[in-house]
Amino acid sequence: MKLEEKILSIAKDTISIEAKAIAALENLLTPQFADAVQYIYNSKGRVIITGIGKSAIIASKIVATLNSTGTPAVFMHAADAIHGDLGSILEDDVVICISKSGNTPEIKVLVPLIKNFKNKIIAITGNIDSFLAQQSNYVLNTYVEKEACPNNLAPTTSTTAQLVMGDALAICLLNLREFSSKDFAKYHPGGALGKKLYLRVSDITSQNLKPQVSPETNVRDVIVEISEKMLGVAAVIENGAVAGIITDGDIRRMLKDHDTFTHLTAADIMSPGPKTIDQDAMAVDALDMLEQYKITQLIAVENGKYAGVVHIHNLIREGIL
């Protein structure tokens, strides 16, 4: 077997092993999962998630997912917890302990200390007979038959199962909270994903100059307006309303069709009935229109009046495209 074929075969086997283990998780779900979700949902506190080794890394990711979907969560490393970080657990907090074996020394020390604080413990473990499982209020079983590691040692399949169980918790809680796209945007204001959910056309047009001419404007002045406003377009405005649009392409076609343009006005070369979008529309809707009509600019309007221009470069700069 060639080296390339061997590498691809190993990769496929890894994916297959993990995929089968994740599919098997469905059969490991019990009413305790639903009880744990409801307890977190009704809790007045936060979710404290702890683990050791690779499980600690998974715990940190689950914390991030919960925080971004409306469930306040805090990561606490199991080793640090027994050296002072237990003080981060408040009275109403729920503690999730993640451990494949459920029998690590740190977990055996930590769990009784948490129980002394009277906090409920949710175990995510691959061993339902373990110390952690026996001492927890709720047990979420993430048993896997084997790791993807050929030596069955490196945490691979087991950590994937932990991660998926955490995602299942987060999505159930998201649904119970009726967490909407608007809520999501509040927690992701800086990223491209968040911008798709909150950035409006008005946010973009306010950053641009506002190129406009009247139907009687001579073509020389039209060219100057398009050039100065740097959007490759000018709106033709009559009585406050948009009568047409003139683009760089219209200028090129005019130069091709006419030897002289001193007698021409904006009305002679404009394209009537341009595509428009409301100022209050979402920027992502503007992108959809630009792609649908295969154009690079849109005229923005407010109460039927000209409000500005959205250029596809604006959407690229904002990370929408």
Q: How far is CA 164 from the centre of its chain?
A: 17
Does residue 162 sit in helix, strand or coil? helix
- 121: which strand partners? 95
Is the Cβ–Cβ distance between 242 and 301 less than 8 Å? Answer: yes
Is the Cβ–Cβ distance between 142 and 101 less than 8 Å? Answer: no
Q: Which amino acid is at 276?
A: T
User: Residue 311, annotated ligand binder?
Assistant: no
Rounded distance, CA 246 to CA 77, Å? 62
Rounded distance, CA 239 to CA 97, Å? 68
- Side by side, the strands of the sheet bearing 297-302 are 276-278, 297-302, 305-311
Please report the DSSP string for 261-286 in residue order. -TT-BHHHHPEES--EEETTSBHHHH
Q: Which amino acid is at 13?
A: D
Residues belonging to the binding site for Zn(2+) are 77
Residues belonging to the binding site are 77
